[in-house]
Amino acid sequence: MTQAISVTMSRSALQSPNGELVMEVSVQAPHRQAQHITRMPFNISIALDVSSSMEGDKIRHAKQAAQRIIARLEPQDCCAVVTFSRTSHVLFPSAAMTPAARAAAIAEIEKTHTDGNTALYAGWHDAVSTVEHSELGAQAIQRVFLLTDGEANVGPTDPDEIARAVAAVQQRGISTTTFGLGEGYNERLLGLMASAGEGNTYFIQDADDIDAYFAQELDQLFTTTLRNTQVMVTLPDNVSYEIVGERNHSRTGGVLSVPLGALLSGEARTFMLYFRTHDAPIACGAYPVIVTVTALDEHSAAYHASCTATLTVAEHAVIQLEVIEQRAAALDRAAIVAQALAFHQRHDYAGAVALIAKRKEQYPIYARFGVYDAELERFNNRISAFSMKRERMHANDMVNSSTGTLTKYRRMLEVLIQKGADPAEIARVREMVEAIEEKYR
């Protein structure tokens, strides 16, 4: 039987007084017990951008994709539809997806037309509200699908402020997946929302691909075996640590909480912690690290698993698993690239380069793998708007990747090959497939 939780240290000990170490925590969801088991119900809200920029093929394909999602739902599921332009509007309140309700929702979507600006936050907020007030509530997989092709320009617009709101909602069990269409949307905003919301983020270059990515997101949810998954790591108070990468987490005293949301059958999700002793002295000795996972299983019953590992602090240490530190370096690179892209988007090219250069000095444990040098060269040459969209999605997915993310990229690769996309773009996505395969090998 596969171990539900594993904790692995990159070095034999955390060296004192000047040492560092990476700890990898892996959580694996149980496999579906049998093929005939009824899947978990869905409590979904679809938030569609209907601003003026969506006119034409964009809104046509968006409407068709939303309609196909609804057509696949069953009476055990609840779904709502929200549209947003200069304001937000609940087009179809949350309802059980009976045949009559599905037909009514599909008909309402068909009436939608485009107009105005982009009240993105209001659209997302109203979608969350429909999920919270549905008859299913937290008795189902709760998720918001948000599709936009533009910038948030009405109401709250600050990416960090919106991400904090999304993280707070995710703590209540509602995840957010974002779909960015074309080259005009804010990739940092959608990336942060997906990361904070423990959902996926998609860059959809062509409108006729919306359906494929909406369907992929729903396909993954069909195999969920754990929902509302929360990981608590209890650490000694005198140990200095930080989570690797930009991912949703909180701390209360000596307990780190990491929400993982919904986990698919057999899916492994990992996160990493970086420890160091050069900020504060730590006495040599053995320190317990307790990892606890709580969730709801396929039958909505409470799921619980825990394990205890030992963090050793000693005068001498050797590297045991360099690959863990190499993977942590890749995650840190992804996180710093995401931040650098925000500078780049403001045309502060020098600021982006300076940010990466400072990171290289701060973390020699990662710098020795050359991850920052490659980015310094790339950012010195500047990045196109198109590449920024793709890179922001890649950065988010490296930090929050899972075996489910691998399915996403394999599907994306198929779509690009089928469409005869630019060879360089195909090669970049193939690299991502190989990188995630390597992470979960």
Q: How confident is the model at residue 106 (pLDDT cuts 50, 70, 90)?
A: very high
pLDDT (0 to 100) of residue 288: 93
Question: Alpha-carbon distance 126 to 106, whole Å?
Answer: 19
Average pLDDT over residues 379-401: 67
276 phi and psi angles, rounded to 5 deg: -150, 155
Question: Alpha-carbon distance 210 to 58, whole Å?
Answer: 9
Q: Which residue has the higher pLDDT, 236 or 9?
A: 9
Cis check: omega of the bond before 17, within 30 degrees of 0:
yes
- Per-residue pLDDT of 118-144, as tens digits, reads 899 999 999 999 999 998 877 889 999
Here the tokens at position 336 are: 């710093």
Question: Alpha-carbon distance 255 to 232, whole Å?
Answer: 6
338, HSE (Cβ side, Cα atoms, 13 Å): 28
Contact 278, 19 (CB under 8 A): yes
Q: Which domains does the chain have, with CATH numbers?
A: 5-35+225-320 (2.60.40.10), 42-222 (3.40.50.410), 323-439 (no CATH)
pTM metric for this prediction:
0.76
pLDDT (0 to 100) of residue 316: 93
Average pLDDT over residues 388-401: 65
Q: How confident is the model at residue 1 (pLDDT cuts 50, 70, 90)?
A: very low
The amino acid that residue 371 corresponds to is: V
Average pLDDT over residues 294-313: 90
Q: How confident is the model at residue 171 (pLDDT cuts 50, 70, 90)?
A: confident
pLDDT (0 to 100) of residue 77: 94
Average pLDDT over residues 309-324: 94
- Per-residue pLDDT of 205-242, as tens digits, reads 788 888 888 888 888 888 888 888 999 999 987 788 89
pLDDT (0 to 100) of residue 412: 79
Q: Which of 15-19, 100-104, 235-239, 350-354 has the highest mean pLDDT?
A: 100-104
Q: At how many degrees (to 10) do helices 99-110 and 57-72 cross?
A: 180
pLDDT (0 to 100) of residue 133: 92
Q: Which residue has the higher pLDDT, 407 or 343?
A: 343
pLDDT of 74 > 60? The answer is: yes
